[in-house]
Amino acid sequence: MREILPAGPDTTPDDAYSLLSDLGLLRLAAALATDEGDLPAVRAWLACHDRWLARSSAVLGRAEGALGWAACHRAAGDLPRAREHAEAALTHATAPRQPLALLAARRLLGEFDTAEGRHAAARAHLDAALALAEACAAPHERALTLLALAELCAAERQPAAAGALVDEARALLTPLGAAPALARADALAASPPVAAAENLPFGLTAREVAVLALLAEGLTDAQIAARLFISRHTVNGHTRAIYGKLGVTSRAAATRLALDHDLR
């Protein structure tokens, strides 16, 4: 990638070897930077991708570009903007129909709906994503969708169903050597059961309770992010919300309240 695009995100379409193939490299660069948590680099690569798309007037690539922006805003903890871009990706992938991009958009929207407690909408998106994964004979995409469905089942307090989905995903991922997805499966299997919403104190959400419980165990933000398969930016956002709801300003005080209310 560096050899083909030596100027990085400042590369112009005139310097590209092949515009359409190099667009894929720009998206790859953004994805790698997302994994590294380098959000300024993510934005630079995606902005370059947008410029190249505008220059080419291409239709293909717009859905994937929107998905890249959705991942960027999700990593930054800006879920409303992440959802906005995921919905744009769904529109771009629908006409003309692009099954793999459509699958990714459906899965991402399902994950957002799960996080926001819209379980019926989440299941509709994830069932559609699973059908697309099966139609495309894409085992890795199928496994990722099964993990998203497992998160939904956990949120619906169906631990047995969640466990079965995680096991099915592992069976697909192990022969592929898909280490990040397998780590996500392990994190799901290790996650504590979600309490009923009516039993959560201080107006905390189920995800905030999960973050608080791990915080009370003494885990760092990075360790919490790895355990829950979310970004450190998202952990920071949850932590700020938790402190506000608990009326505290430190980890020690939050830990004390977690212990007092048996949230550890």
Alpha helices (H) along the chain:
19-35, 39-56, 62-75, 79-94, 99-115, 119-135, 139-155, 159-176, 179-190, 206-216, 221-228, 232-246, 251-260
Burial of 18 (0-12, 13-18, 19+ CB in 10 A): exposed
- Lowest-pLDDT range of 42-51, 68-77, 170-179, 223-232: 223-232
pTM of the model: 0.76
Q: Tens digit of pLDDT for each residue in 227-249?
A: 776 777 778 888 988 999 999 99
Looking at residue 42, its pLDDT comes to 95
Q: Tens digit of pLDDT for each residue in 108-163?
A: 999 999 888 889 999 999 999 999 999 999 999 999 999 999 999 988 888 889 99
Residue spans of the domains in the chain: they are 1-58, 192-264
Instruction: Output the CATH code of domain 192-264.
Output: 1.10.10.10
Distance CA 106, CA 126 (A): 6
Quick check: 221 pLDDT over 90? Answer: no
| Angle at which helices 221-228 and 232-246 cross, to 10° | 110
